[in-house]
Amino acid sequence: MYNKNKIRFFRRVLLDWFETNMRDFPWRKENISNYQIIISEILLQRTKAETVAKYYDIFFKKYPDWEKLTYASISDLEKILHPLGLYKHRAQRLYKIAQEYKKKNGTLPKNKNELNDSNLATQYVSSAYELFILKHRAALLDINMSRLLRRFFDPREFKDVRNDKEIIELAHNVINIKSCKELNWAILDYAALICKELKPKCIECKLNSDCRFYKQTNQILLNEPVDESQLNISYDPMISRDPNKPFQVISLFSGCGGMDIGFEGEFLVHKDSINDAINPDFIESLNDDNFVKLRPTKFQTIFANDILQDARNAWVNYFKKRGYSSEIYHVESIVDLVKTHKNGAKIFPDKIDVVTGGFPCQDFSLAGKRNGFNSHKDHKGEIIKSELASIETRGQLYMWLKEVIEITKPNIFVAENVKGLVNLSNVKEIIQKDFSTANGNGYIVLNPLVLHAADYGVPQSRERVFFIGIKKDALSNKALLELSKSVVSEKYNPFPPPTHSFTKTGKNLKPPVLLKSIFNNLPEPDDSLDPSQMFYSKAKFMGKHCQGQIEINLDGIGPTIRSEHHGNIEFRRLSLKNGGKIVHEVSEQKMVERRLTPRECGLIQTFPPDYEFIIQHSKGKFFISPSVAYKLVGNAVPPLLAYHVAKRIESLWDLYFNKSNNGSISKPESRKKIIPVTTGQYSDNSFIRIQEKRKGISNIIG
């Protein structure tokens, strides 16, 4: 059916490439046991090989052989497999296999018939068993191998490889050589590194001279912007450190990167959003179309996380263009990440200076059900079936942010949430106090402050409460004394001063940024080539009694961009019939009634105009859809607001901390006898130092 010469060419190229590009994994080592082979293949199902490699020692340290595994319960296995994903399925499989092994007195299948009658009889695992244990010629056929074979030999619509007779036959024809094992590995490695799902490296591909996929697509997919997503996390990747960014940041609950863009800097905002009389060091350069480019900060994000795959895709798409690896972003629950780290895996990087986190706000938001700590959803956003909430519910995930703080011991942490949190009983005080207990009351947590985004040049009615904690034993004695006071002086206050006069008054403040300024010269969707402007919610006007049925005021700031609006985002303009007031657009320019686009929402949030919220996969299909785009924008911290916080912290770094050349903290000054003292901050066991050979109290030092 397939050209034999083409098969020979495919084999030769792949094996030659494999000699110098093979990936090194523990299950590929010589002389590993049959037990390790079988377990490894189950761990590898639908999971990135690099993830399994990092997790490998954790599992085999706990269950090094069949005997230990046979004593494990399903719940035991679920617990250790949970961070890897598919944990219920894997736990059931391993339990059945282990019990069968025990029942048969340690005898494994000796031939294909026995294999087919065993609990190992699934396509991928049984093929691996045949190949590695029975030494038969078998294909390790999964979706990755199938993709490479189809693209090269017969590009057509994918089917489930388990039921596709043609691809099964092709795979066996291709691998049917003496070097069967090496060819299997070569195909899998080539599919992972070169022939990726969404961004194949066709120009680099050594098969492209005879590849039907390459010829048919004519390189259409070469510019796909986002790397192929993989199941679960990639642990502790090697991150290239920028010497101009000495302060290393862990970002939690990262979403599509609003906080991270702000902490990194070097992005475009409207010129009216910057008050250079107050912040003359913010602007790096002027840009066309009334935008300015902000200076980079000294902060580098080396770890980001969220449970939303679409958020990861948007984040990676933006930051990869700025030289950041997609491996930085971990699509996994913070609960699972912390648990995996505590199980012995190296999840969180060392030498962290800052931890940021906009922990989930839905349970505190005025727009939500306001369940607070008693959230109805768990840490993965799924509905809780039990009646009682736990520390793993969405409303208490700030405690897991605290766990990361205790693991990484940053000098500063910044946590953000909605203003509604402040109005829920004593929630603010509880969270403040909980944060202060990190590392045994090791942090001064300043009284949380509500910042209105419009006071910082963001053209939006958006209020957020910020918690800032600072590690006591990293501070100089003078800084510790100042920060421990009930009222922190302006010189030492880490909260940024306002720059615009929406809720504030004062010298040199600029007026609020108006929507007509940021929308100036922005083409209508029908005239735009920008997908984030072209595609938008077509939800019809439902009457002003419903949420989101109002027209924005071009002579004012924008409404709060909500994440949960179900298509009912506010209108860019209403028809006169429905109460529209922008008469010159509707009557004179004949512009249609429509809702805000994701691009317009992004500009209201101060995302840079080159941030791609909507990414088309192919004609009529989306890698990130318009409905998802709205949610990503609404969930985000305004980048400019985050930039103000970052620049303020950056400006105070040398004032706060004992200096060292690389931005980390030098060994604190020796501290003698300490006794507790109460301060105006929630640092319950702040301390007074008693200095030898001096009278009285010298400093509050923590």
pLDDT tens by residue, 197-235: 877 888 889 998 888 888 776 544 444 444 444 434 444
pLDDT band at 241 (very low <50, low <70, confident <90, very high): confident
- The whole-model pTM stands at 0.69
Catalytic residue from among 211, 361, 546, 601: 361
Give the C-alpha separation, 13 to 225, whole Å.
27
- Whether 601 sits among the annotated catalytic residues: the reply is no
Least confident of 79-93, 100-114, 482-496, 657-671: 657-671
Task: Check pLDDT > 90 for residue 174.
Answer: yes
- Asked if residue 293 has pLDDT above 60, the reply is yes
Alpha helix locations (H) across 372-424? Answer: 398-408
pLDDT at 677 over 60: no
More confident residue, 83 or 225: 83
How far apart (Å, rounded) are the C-alpha atoms in residues 510 and 457?
Answer: 8
What average pLDDT score do residues 491-504 get? 97
Asked if residue 241 lies in contact with residue 325, where contact means CB atoms within 8 angstroms, the answer is no
pLDDT value of residue 670: 39
Residue 354 to residue 299: CA distance in whole angstroms: 8
pLDDT band at 661 (very low <50, low <70, confident <90, very high): very low
In the chain, pLDDT over 70 holds for what percent of residues? 83
Position 158 scores a pLDDT of 52
The domain locations on the chain are 4-223, 247-435+449-510+639-651, 515-635, 670-702
Percent of the chain with pLDDT over 90: 59
Q: Which neighbouring-strand residues pair with 621? A: 618
Of 209-218, 581-590, 637-646, 660-669, give the lowest mean pLDDT range: 660-669
Select 4-223's CATH number: 1.10.340.30, 3.20.190.10, 1.20.1260.10, 1.10.3720.10: 1.10.340.30
Question: What pLDDT is recorded for position 301?
Answer: 96
Q: Does residue 409 carry a pLDDT above 80?
A: yes
Averaged pLDDT for residues 532-539: 94
pLDDT of residue 337: 87
Give the single-character DSSP code of 266.
-
pLDDT band at 251 (very low <50, low <70, confident <90, very high): very high
- pLDDT-based confidence at residue 157 (cuts at 50, 70, 90): low
Q: Please give the pLDDT value at position 161.
A: 64
Burial of 356 (0-12, 13-18, 19+ CB in 10 A): buried
Q: 3-state DSSP call for residue 413?
A: strand
Length of the chain: 702
Q: Is the pLDDT confidence value at 483 over 70?
A: yes
For residue 22, how many C-alpha atoms fall within 13 Å in the half-sphere facing its CB?
16
Q: What is the dotted CATH code of the domain comprising 247-435+449-510+639-651?
A: 3.40.50.150
Q: What is the mean pLDDT of residues 558-569?
A: 82
Helix axes 165-175, 180-193, angle to 10 degrees: 120
pLDDT tens sequence across 106-145? 999 999 899 999 988 887 889 999 999 999 999 999 888 9
422-477: pLDDT as tens digits: 776 677 888 888 888 888 889 999 999 999 999 999 999 999 999 999 999 999 99
